[in-house]
């Protein structure tokens, strides 16, 4: 049993889907996590997980994800949610204007970092990632965040076009599966 700290309904649904049938239970604490400024997503979630764990004295899980674009030197990275609120996907596409449409030039990574901490212990991080490229324009209405501009490697359509109700993004599933293996192996 752990406490998932988030205000994001989509993240709650994705964690439920991946853990379904595993016997691992969790409850949700709707709260904003402290946003440490760092380029390392694991550092951010470990600090947040430890902070909440010390407050509530229960095992805690905190997830943070970001879009890291090679042509923009990793931007928006760990500031993805902030950038989305300020400039949206159109702003990111505007920053990409002039970057050739080839896969190599528009390569990016979606990363999900999950911090887990138990009372009296140091936090650990589970990282999931998925390579892709940035589309030339927003496509599709499904998913959320940068899904309409992220084309997963090996695909020709964005997550915004591909996602269906109940899908879990691969990068987050990888991180949740690592958490699940860790908890089951204890």
| Residue of 13, 47, 43, 16 lying closest to 33 (CA atoms) | 47
177 is catalytic: no
Please identify which of the residues 39, 40, 64, 167 carries the catalytic annotation.
Answer: 64
H helices then E strands: how many in the chain? Answer: 5, 7
Buried-exposed string 69-101: b where 16+ CB fall within 10 A, e elsewhere: bbbbebbbbbbbeebbeeeebeebbebbeebee
C-beta of residue 150 within 8 angstroms of C-beta of residue 67:
yes
Instruction: Kindly list the catalytic residues.
Output: 64
């Amino acid at each position: 049993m752990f406490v998932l700290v988030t205000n994001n309904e989509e993240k709650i649904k994705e964690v439920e889907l991946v853990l379904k049938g595993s016997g691992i239970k969790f409850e949700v604490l709707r709260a904003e996590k402290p946003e440490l400024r760092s380029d390392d997503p694991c550092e951010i979630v470990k600090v947040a997980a430890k902070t909440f764990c010390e407050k509530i004295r229960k095992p805690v899980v905190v997830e943070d994800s970001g879009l890291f674009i090679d042509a923009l030197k990793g931007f928006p990275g760990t500031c993805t949610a902030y950038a989305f609120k300020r400039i949206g996907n159109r702003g990111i596409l505007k920053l990409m204007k002039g970057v050739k449409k080839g896969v190599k030039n528009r390569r990016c990574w979606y990363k999900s970092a999950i911090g887990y901490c138990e009372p009296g212990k140091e936090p650990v991080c589970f990282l999931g990632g998925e390579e892709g490229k940035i589309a030339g324009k927003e496509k599709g209405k499904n998913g959320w965040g940068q899904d309409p501009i992220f084309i997963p490697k090996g695909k020709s359509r964005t997550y915004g076009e591909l996602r269906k109700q109940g899908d879990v993004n691969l990068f987050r599933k990888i991180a949740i599966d690592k958490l699940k293996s860790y908890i089951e192996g204890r």
